[in-house]
A = this chain, B = another copy of it.
Amino acid sequence: MIARTNMITRLFTFAAMLVGIGQVGAQNLVALPKAALKQSDTPEKIELGKKLYFDPRLSATGTVSCNSCHNLMEGGDDGRATSMGVNGLTGPRNAPTVWNAVFQASQFWDGRAVTLEEQAKGPMVADVEMGMLGHDQVISRIKDIAGYTNDFQIAFKNDDAVTIENAVEAIAAFERTLITPNSALDRYLDGDEHAMSETQIRGMELFESIGCTECHSGPALNGWDIGSDAEFVEFPRFDTSPFVQAYDLATDLGRSQATGDNTDDHLFKTPTLRNVTLTAPYLHNGRVSSLAETCRLMASTQLDVELTDREADDLTSFMSALEGEFPEMTFPRLPSRSGESVIQAKVGSAINDQS
Contact = CB atoms under 8 A, between A and B. Distances in A.
A236 to B, nearest CB: 13
B331 A73 contact: yes
Contact of A316 (B63, B293, B343): B343
Interface in A323-355: 323, 326, 328-334, 336-340, 342-343, 346-351, 354
B337 A242 contact: no
A342 B316 contact: yes
A71 B56 CA distance: 10
A243 interface: yes
B350 A246 contact: yes
B343 A278 contact: no
A136 interface: no
A74 B326 CA distance: 24
A329 B326 contact: no
Interface in A270-312: 277-280, 289-293, 296, 300, 309, 312
Nearest to A339: B277
A78 interface: yes
B330 A343 contact: no
User: Which of A323, A337, A348 has the most C-beta atoms of chain B within 10 angstroms of its own C-beta?
Assistant: A337
A134 interface: no
A57 interface: yes
A224 interface: no
A307 to B, nearest CB: 9
Interface string A175-202: 0000000000000000000000000000
A28 interface: no
A140 to B, nearest CB: 16
Contacts of A291: 338, 342-343
Interface of A: 54-57, 61-63, 68, 71-75, 78-80, 84, 86-89, 242-243, 246-247, 277-280, 289-293, 296, 300, 309, 312-313, 316-317, 319-320, 323, 326, 328-334, 336-340, 342-343, 346-351, 354
Top 3 A-B pairs, shortest CB-CB distance: A88-B88, A87-B88, A280-B338
